[in-house]
Structure 1
Amino acid sequence: MRHHITGRFRPHPRIWVVFIFGILIGAAGMLVYLGEKLDSFYLERDAMYYANNQKQKEILRLKTELDRLTHEESKRREAAGKIRKIQVEVLTPQRFGQETIKAEVEKLLQPFVGKSIEWLGRNPDLVDTVLQGRTIRLSDPKASAVQLHVKYVTLVDSDLKVWIDARDVPADE
């Protein structure tokens, strides 16, 4: 026996049309809603990319500035760690000839200019070795020569300061 679909169980074509229109309207509504959401996400992503690029530029600028400052600081430290100037104080009973003695001692110590303060600190006897007992001839006829004796050696900032005791050399030497 065959069952026939009667009017009661038979789907109505309008229901199918309404169903399909419902699906289409629902899909269009979802597309509009999700399209707006997607557009806002794209805009937010673009804003984040822009902000990220700005931060990257700022980081690069700060790195460049840090490198420049580090380089300047290392140059400053390097310059501060070297002897820049030599100061000589002459202790002698003679009033004349002190400038000649100063000039000669500065000329003898000139190789120390530009050397590291640490190097001189590790070899403190070098100044003494260069100057101790050295005889300097003077142009003054009363005192023809003086013998140098190092009293003190100090390093003040980047200056080498030396106190010299200059004693007359007896005429028979």
Structure 2
Amino acid sequence: MFKGRHIRHIRLIVAFVLGIIIGCITMTISYGAKLEGLYAERETLYYEYNQRVKKIQLLQQDLDKRAQQNARQQEGSQIIKQIQVEIDSPVKFNQSIVKTEVETILKPFLNKSVRWVSSDPALLDTMLKKRLVKLPDKNTVEIRLKYLAFFDSELKVWVSAREISDKDVSMSGE
């Protein structure tokens, strides 16, 4: 009898161990396929993630490149490269000489920053205030700054000009 009980316990233990082994094998087979699918999906997601990161980096580099080009372009347009003079006068006289004279007076502003000039426009006014220009026909023209404007890299200046006679000019400097 004692032997029969042992065999019965051994059979129960063996049946229990076999049940555990068969259960593990069944679980491995049934969930292994699902795990393989999840691993494949994870690899696909990693690949797509890396592709998108590369695309974002390329877009960021392109954006940085365009920003640098834009900054260089704005920097170039922030420099006065041309001065254009317009004469406002009721009397028609040799305006090309007056334009040339004003352009010569304003030549130091070429290749200077627009901000430098726009921060102190009184400097231009001082340079052109009551400036006298001698014309070839022995007449004299007095010029004054009327307006100034910036268009990209161009300084546009409007000056008023009036012809003065020798009687208007005094020796006192006024």
Using the aligned pairs only, state the percent identity: 29
Note the C-alpha offset of 1:39: 1.4
Q: Distance in 1 between matches of 2:119 and 2:20?
A: 92
Please list, as runs of the form range in 1=range in 2, the aligned pairs for 1:36-47 lying within 5 A after superposition: 36-47=33-44
TM-score (norm 1): 0.73
For 1:47 and 1:35, locate their aligned partners in 2 and report how far apart those are by CA, in whole Å: 18
Task: Confirm whether residue 22 of structure 1 aligns to residue 16 of structure 2.
Answer: no
Asked if 1:5 corresponds to 2:32, the answer is: no
* Residue 109 of structure 1, aligned match among 106, 110, 117: 106
CA distance in structure 1 between the aligned counterparts of 2:83 and 2:71, rounded to whole angstroms: 23
| Secondary structure at 2:80 match in 1 | coil
Query: 5+ residue gaps in structure 1?
Result: none
- Matched residue type, 1:113: L
Pick from 160, 163, 169: which aligns with 1:164? 160
Q: Cα deviation per residue 1:52-99 (whole Å; 9 max; x = unaligned)?
A: 11221121122123223322333344344443432212226353x311
Q: Which residue of 1 aligns with 2:91?
A: 93
> Using the alignment, how far apart are the partners of 1:102 and 1:48 within structure 2?
70
Do the aligned partners of 2:147 and 2:159 also contact (CA within 8 Å) in 1?
yes
- Alignment correspondent of 1:74: 71
Amino acid at match of 1:93: V
User: What TM-score do you get using the length of structure 2 for normalisation?
Assistant: 0.73
Cα-to-partner distance string for 1:110-146 (whole Å, 9 max, x where unaligned): 22233333322321121122222334344x3x22x53
In the TM superposition, residue 165 of structure 1 has moved relative to its aligned partner by 0.9
Q: Structure 2 CA distance, aligned partners of 1:125 and 1:19?
A: 102
Aligned match of 2:128: 131
CA distance in 1: counterparts of 2:123 and 2:63, whole angstroms: 39
Specify the alignment match of 2:142 in structure 1: 148
Q: How has the CA–CA distance of structure 1 residues 115 and 169 changed in structure 2, closer, same or farther, with 3 Å as cutoff?
A: farther
Structure 2 stretches lacking a partner, 5+ long: none
What does 1:25-64 correspond to in 2, within 5 Å?
A: 25-64=22-61
Alignment CA distance shift 1:93-1:22 (3 Å): same
Whether the 8 Å contact between 1:134 and 1:148 is mirrored in structure 2 is yes
User: Against the structure 1 CA distance between its residues 115 and 157, is the aligned structure 2 distance closer, same or farther, given a 3 Å change threshold?
Assistant: same
Count of residues in correspondence between the two structures: 165
